[in-house]
Amino acid sequence: MPITEILSKNAGLYGSETCLTEINLDLQDSHNIIWKEYELIENNPAGEYRRDMSWRVFDEKANRMANLLLKRGIQKGDKVAILMMNCLEWLPIYFGILKAGAIAVPMNFRYTAEEIKYCLELSETTSLVFGPEFIGRIESIYDQIPQVKTLFFAGENRPTFAENYDRLTANCSSEAPDIKLTDEDDAAIYFSSGTTGFPKAILHTHRSLMSACYTEYHHHGQTRDDNFLCIPPLYHTGAKMHWFGSFLAGSKAVILRGIKPEWILKTVSEERITIVWLLVPWAQDILDALDRGEVRLEDYELSQWRLMHIGAQPVPPSLIRRWKQYFPHHQYDTNYGLSESIGPGCVHLGVKNIHKVGAIGIPGHEWEVRITDENGISVSQGQVGELAVKGPGVMKCYFNDPEATAAVLKEGWLFTGDMARMDEDGFIYLVDRKKDVIISGGENIYPVQIEDFLRAHKAIKDVAVIGLPDKRQGEIAAAIIELKSDCACTTEEIEAFCAPMPRYKRPKKVIFDTVPRNPTGKIEKPRLREKFGASSLVAAQNEIK
């Protein structure tokens, strides 16, 4: 069934019950982003802000959004993009787009103006909903995106080039529109990139989204008594698809705007959170804060917290061993996936298999897995090959890119580009990445983008960017820079030159050395990795052995 039917069902069954809560513990951010529905908690010296939404209101807001789009001429199959920070409005807007029969296009809030423009054009988006944090970026390109017919602004102090989302939806019907949806209807486009750094538009159907609900529900057994803490950005499949298990169960979720260890523990304690999905850096920060005595477990009520699961990048086994020392009662799971496989869960460790920490796990619910050679033939147990997955959450295609689609989709199998091996018990271990993508703090960093940027520096002859292991981020981007023979340069000068880049893309380490290239002119990155440090994946595997 289409995923929108779950929302309608939950609204009917649990209408007045709270389903979503937004919490913002950063007063400075709260003052910068004013939401008219925020309420200050009485007699609370810390000044926390929170907003609640019931299942009925969630469904009504989604219906109002759908009816607004239909009034504006949005037809089935049209694309509507969302460019917003995590907030209580995000999910009703997403489901409203789906209820209109349109295709939701979540966008990375770290995109530059040019990246936003590129992705809007690539996805053939005709409408965009954006928040106050993006006024400047949208203002700089709105006259260059003529295919985007409507710009809806969600927030206070509306810019003149956009329309007011709150006012317009308030005047629309809260009844569900009469739009017939099927499992095979297109539902969402998510963006990914290859080593070239150019985003691909990943098209998923309602069947894909529903498969994520069932996979997550089967893996982690959500019940109505659970409360899921959502911290990662909602544009990412990882956050939303893990919440989908709670969505299917009709249980609560809390959207936390902030990642400080004390905020996470405070929210888990006060909101009675039972399930938390973390990125490696956040788990590392919590452990480090505990080690330093900056937070104390006895200050919080955490007995109800039953599951911590983690993914989006390689997970050091040492981190999980430390975690279990502080939280011995926790269930734990590692989750592996791609946006092309509707996010996490096509492979997972499983809460009963913590003795296999270090592996990404076994095939997920209703998923199949193969490890293949360069000809697509399965390799023997223990041998390294490319990981391929097959299941109900595999993407339909890369939108408008049949060549790229054919390169990774073969007879229903999605070839991931990750190199892996399988042990004698059927557990899969990542060995290396076929592509050069660097995963830092759960975000993909594409070396070619950084290399192209740095090559504009007048003193640089050649440059190569590789990933080096990092305790907190998993990997960091390191730039190996070869200077022109008559030029001198310092690390500080390179850092200043990189300042215009988004912070997460800036090299965290600068090394001045020769950049080796092979006879065909390609950079020999394996040599650089060997010289300056193994990838975090290889380091993790060595730790297991």
Backbone phi and psi for residue 337, each to the nearest 5 degrees, phi listed first: 180, 180
Task: Please check the confidence at residue 119 and state whether its pLDDT lies above 90.
Answer: yes
What does each C-alpha distance from 220 to 249, 278, 410 come to in angstroms? 11, 15, 30
pLDDT at 314: 67
pLDDT at 435: 67
Question: Which residues are CB-contacts of 535 (< 8 A; sequence separation ≥ 6)?
Answer: 432, 433, 467, 468, 469, 475, 529
pLDDT at 444: 76
Q: Which of 38-52, 226-240, 509-523 has the lowest mean pLDDT?
A: 38-52
CB-CB contact of 387 with 353 (8 Å): no
> Which amino acid does the sequence have at 50?
R
CB-CB contact of 347 with 328 (8 Å): no
CB-CB contact of 361 with 332 (8 Å): no
Strands 409-410 and 413-422: antiparallel
pLDDT tens track for 433-472: 666 778 888 787 878 778 878 988 989 988 999 999 998 8
Question: Which residues are CB-contacts of 53 (< 8 A; sequence separation ≥ 6)?
Answer: 18, 19, 20, 21, 61, 88, 92
Domain with CATH 3.40.50.12780 in the chain: 4-258
Alpha helices, H only, 293-418: 317-326, 402-408
Domain with CATH 2.30.38.10 in the chain: 307-433
In three-state form (DSSP H/G/I as H, E/B as E, the rest C), the secondary structure along 396-427 is CEECCCHHHHHHHEECCEEEEEEEEEECCCCC
Instruction: State the number of CA atoms in the 13 A half-sphere of 33 facing the CB.
Output: 19
Does domain 307-433 fall under CATH 2.60.40.1120? My reply is no
For residue 226, the surrounding DSSP H or E stretch is none
Q: Which CATH architecture has domain 438-544?
A: 2-Layer Sandwich (3.30)
Q: What are the CB-based long-range contacts (under 8 Å, 24+) for 297-300?
A: 297/265, 297/326, 299/265, 300/265, 300/266, 300/268, 300/269
Question: Residue 529 — pLDDT band, cuts 50, 70, 90?
Answer: confident
Instruction: Single out the residue of 340, 346, 344, 350 nearest to residue 307, CA to CA.
Output: 350
> Which amino acid does the sequence have at 146?
P
pLDDT at 432: 61
CB-CB contact of 248 with 6 (8 Å): yes
Six-digit token string for 149: 């017919």
Rounded Cα distance between 220 and 228, Å, is: 11
Tokens 């809560």, residue located: 21
Instruction: Single out the residue of 2, 237, 257, 195 nearest to residue 105, CA to CA.
Output: 237
Which of the following CATH numbers is that of domain 4-258: 3.90.700.10, 3.40.50.12780, 3.90.25.10, 3.40.50.880? 3.40.50.12780
DSSP string, 145-163: -TT--EEEE-SSS--TTSE
Task: Please check the confidence at residue 178 and state whether its pLDDT lies above 60.
Answer: yes
pLDDT tens track for 180-239: 999 999 999 999 854 345 789 999 999 999 999 999 999 999 999 999 999 989 998 888
Q: What is the mean pLDDT of residues 479-498?
A: 92
DSSP class of residue 524? -
Domain with CATH 3.30.300.30 in the chain: 438-544
Q: Tally the residues of the chain.
A: 545
Is the pTM higher than 0.85? The answer reads no
